């Protein structure tokens, strides 16, 4: 996958805190960008359904939106804590970490 940019958002949780990140892959350390690309490939991100929300929604659970932008198109997948496939957890953790870091850097 030739991802150029990832837009990530995590909402919900007990405190309802929103974390969002706009990640330009060519502006981050190469090893970190490579890790994200490998996680996307492992997931076959292009093949995922656009919504994986599970039922019923859990109170205080997190909702995630991941948009991967390539040269020619973009794809958004929305999921939740309870519905995200196990294979997606490392990607969600990595993107959440980057979003928190970006939020700290903006202060």
Q: Which of 21-30, 55-64, 90-99 has the lowest mean pLDDT?
A: 55-64
Q: How confident is the model at residue 16 (pLDDT cuts 50, 70, 90)?
A: confident
Query: Strands, DSSP E only, in the chain?
Result: 5-12, 19-24, 51-52, 62-69, 74-80
- Residue 54: give the domain boundaries: 5-106
pLDDT for the residue 61: 87
pLDDT for the residue 55: 66
pTM over 0.85: yes
Determine contact, residues 21/106, Cβ cutoff 8 Å: no
- Split into its structural domains, the chain has a count of 1
Supply φ then ψ for residue 80, to 5 degrees.
-135, 170
């Amino acid at each position: 996958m030739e991802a150029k940019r990832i837009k990530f958002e995590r909402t919900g949780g007990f405190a309802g805190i929103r974390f969002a990140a706009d990640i330009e892959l060519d502006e981050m350390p190469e090893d970190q960008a490579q890790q994200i690309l490998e996680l996307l490939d492992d997931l076959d991100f292009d093949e995922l359904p656009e919504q994986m929300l599970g039922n019923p929604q859990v109170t205080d659970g997190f909702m995630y939106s991941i948009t991967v932008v390539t040269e020619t198109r973009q794809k958004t997948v929305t999921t939740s804590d309870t519905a995200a496939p196990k294979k997606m957890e490392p990607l969600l953790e990595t993107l959440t970490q980057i979003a928190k870091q970006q939020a700290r850097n903006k202060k």
